[in-house]
Amino acid sequence: MLDRFTNFLTLSIATLLAISLFCAVALAEDEDDNGPEHSLGSDDSDWWTTYPDKNVNSGSAVTHPDWVLEALEDRPLLILIHQNNCLPCMTQVPRINDTMQTHNDDILFYSILAEGDGILKALEVLDIYSPTGKKQYVPTTIFLTLIENEDGEVEVGWHSEIDIMSTEDINSYAEDSIYYHQQNAADWEQ
């Protein structure tokens, strides 16, 4: 009888330990899911503080317009440069709009029409935030946030994509921009 009780107790303790370990691993994975998907670097999918590897100005500092710096005091930014008669834009615009319905209170959105009165503004933004620094294309989608650099200083981080982005990628960069901004806004000095 004592042997059965001992075996039952040992089995119960082993089961509880296994469940505890499973829960600890699940919680650790959930914590990882709350962090950013993309980190600071200079590759295609990274957040950048200088011009990325694929840019003709690779490694050079970026001079951000005053209106971007002022907007970043409040929230991260999402900028879409597009045209009305552009087929890829007709796919990208609704995807961006869907993301903004989810994150409207957390991200400032600028839709810049690269035609008519908006062409000069579009060219100004593309001159600064084109991922290649070469020809300018629409649609171009730009995410801006505040990010901690390798020296522990907070500065403007950005990422831009030419052409159509998947809904998953748009949401991923939007969520990253919110995360980084929330983590770093209090420590940002212009």
Complete DSSP assignment for 102-159: HHTTTSEEEEEESSGGGHHHHHHHHHHH-SSSSS--SSEEEEEEEEE-TTS-EEEEEE
Q: pLDDT digits over 147-167, tens only?
A: 999 999 999 999 999 999 999
- Co-location of 18 and 77 in the same domain: no
Q: Is the pTM of this model over 0.85?
A: no
Band (pLDDT 50/70/90 cuts) for residue 31 is: very low
Task: Give yes or no for a contact between 80 and 93, defined as CB atoms under 8 angstroms apart.
Answer: yes
Q: Is 48 part of any domain?
A: no
Angstrom distances, CA of residue 91 to CA of 81, 102, 103? 13, 18, 19
Q: Is 161 part of any domain?
A: yes
C-alpha of 94 from chain center: 18
- Co-location of 93 and 145 in the same domain: yes
Angle between helices 87-103 and 167-184 (to 10 degrees): 40
- Co-location of 30 and 70 in the same domain: no
pLDDT at 133: 93
- Co-location of 121 and 170 in the same domain: yes
- Co-location of 176 and 88 in the same domain: yes
Q: Is 79 part of any domain?
A: yes
- Co-location of 25 and 108 in the same domain: no
Q: Is 40 part of any domain?
A: no
Cα–Cα distance for residue pair 175/181, rounded to 1 Å: 10
Checking if the pLDDT of 45 tops 80, the result is yes
- Co-location of 87 and 178 in the same domain: yes
> What is the domain count for the chain?
2
User: Who's near 104: CB < 8 A, 6+ residues apart?
Assistant: none
* CATH number for position 142: 3.40.30.10
Strand partners, 156: 146
Checking if the pLDDT of 9 tops 70, the result is no
Q: Is 145 part of any domain?
A: yes
Domain extent for 129: 66-187
Q: Is 157 part of any domain?
A: yes
- Co-location of 27 and 70 in the same domain: no
User: Who's near 143: CB < 8 A, 6+ residues apart?
Assistant: 76, 77, 78, 79, 158, 159, 160, 173, 174, 176, 177
Q: Is 1 part of any domain?
A: yes
